[in-house]
Chain A
Amino acid sequence: MTAGLQIWNASGQLTLDATQRVGRIKGSQQITGGSGSISMDLSSGTPFWSFQPDFLFMHINGNSPVPVVSISSTGISWTYSPPPTTSYLYPITGWLFWGVY
């Protein structure tokens, strides 16, 4: 490597150099069953998102849609598919995180 930052840990292992991409936090949002979107400049790397669900299983009828997330260099949006019924509807809630790497 001819330029860039290098970091070693206390054992002398290289833990970061210029060949490695690192994640940066751009935003987070608790999502609770509705659609939403946030416009944001995510062009300084490859955008990524992560959804950490509060639960995967709830009611025995399985009427628990998961968020469908899209991300691009200009922002992030999420939505849920329409349920087959509104009875015992428990959309999967949780925290959505996004950033760039």
Chain B
Amino acid sequence: MTAGFQAFTDTGVVQIDGMTPNYQLIASMAQLTQQESIPTVFNNVNTQFYGTFWHTTFTFNASRPFFAFRADGGVMATPWKFSRVGNTNSFTAEFVSVSQTTIRLYVFDQVPVSSNNFGLQVFDASGVLIADAANPFARIIDVIEGQYQPGSGWQAVGNSIPGPNTQSRSYSVPVAFGGALAAHFFLNTSPFILSAFGANGGAISWEFHQYIGNNSGTFVGFAEATRYRFMVLDMTGIT
């Protein structure tokens, strides 16, 4: 690169490279979960089944959004579904929670050109805005992944359904879960067991939560569907 702006961490890792869009906060929203009957699975004759969960649906506009969330009071919550509406810039994000709580959704994306008249804006060589000091950056401080049911591929005999396996970790800053992919398991209409993620300031915990039913049966399904993955984001200064 012969012109432009770059920034690096004190260990030499690139923060802003002058070419690649940075993930930055473009919207934050908060909604209270409600007890709702939501579609789960359907059968061979197209009978739709439902489950009752603490649930909420967010709708927002973005281009290539990367979402983060946390729920108030350290209540565990799960990203249930994340859909682009047709070929539009409208997205929906659905969450369920272990008990009633306010879910805070943070949408990170390539920042739109704004009329900010302060700060620093960085453009790439073709004039596309790639960083804007007026918007919080997605500051990734950890990546956590795991899998509750070992192995890969379809398993239908001989294995028990994994238990909650609650884990926790602490950070010195307030955090949220970024790009979380939930482990999930179900049989018919019960149980429904999914990753649930709780954050209280810098303390996080996560488990394979038994939203409906329990883990008393035999595991039937793809082992890798019980894989979970999320990034821990530093939320200092972001409410």
- Hey, which bits of chain A sit against chain B, CB under 8 A? 1-5, 7, 9, 11, 13-16, 18-26, 28, 44-46, 48, 50-60, 62, 64-66, 68, 81-84, 88, 94-95, 97, 99-101
Number of A-B contacts (CB under 8 A): 172
The reply on B120 being an interface residue by CB < 8 A is yes
Cβ contacts under 8 Å, B22 to chain A:
22-25
Q: Which of B1-32 contact A (CB under 8 A)?
A: 7-10, 13-17, 20-23
Asked if residues B108 and A52 are in contact (CB atoms below 8 Å), the reply is no
| A65 to B221 Cα, complex, angstroms | 8
Interface string of B19-53 (1 = CB under 8 A from A): 01111000000000000000011111000010000
Give chain B's interface residue range (CB within 8 Å of chain A).
Answer: 35 or more
Q: Which residue of A lies closest to B143 (CB)?
A: A48
Interface of chain A, main secondary structure = loop
- Give bound CA distance, A5 to B137, whole Å: 13
Does B82 sit within 8 A of A, measured CB to CB? yes
Contact B156 A22 (CB under 8 A): no
Known contacts A16-B139, A57-B41, A66-B225; decide if A21 and B82 are in contact (CB<8 Å). Answer: no
Chain A residues with CB under 8 Å of B231's CB are: 23, 48, 50
Give the complex CA separation of A52 and B49 in angstroms.
Answer: 23
Q: In chain A, what residue has the closest Cβ to B23?
A: A23
B104 interfacial contact with A, CB 8 Å: no
A66–B81 alpha-carbon span in the complex (Å): 14
Distance in angstroms from B64 CB to nearest chain A CB is: 5
Please name the residue on chain A nearest to B93 by beta carbon: A52
A88 to B66, CA, bound (A): 30
User: Chain B, 40-72, contact with A by CB distance < 8 Å: what is the 0/1 string?
Assistant: 111110000100000000000000101100000
Check if B167 is an interface residue, CB within 8 A of chain A: no
Complexed CA–CA distance, A4 and B7 (Å): 7
Separation of A68 and B140 alpha carbons in the complex (Å): 22
Does B184 contact A22, Cβ atoms closer than 8 Å?
no
Q: Is the CB of B137 within 8 A of A15?
A: yes
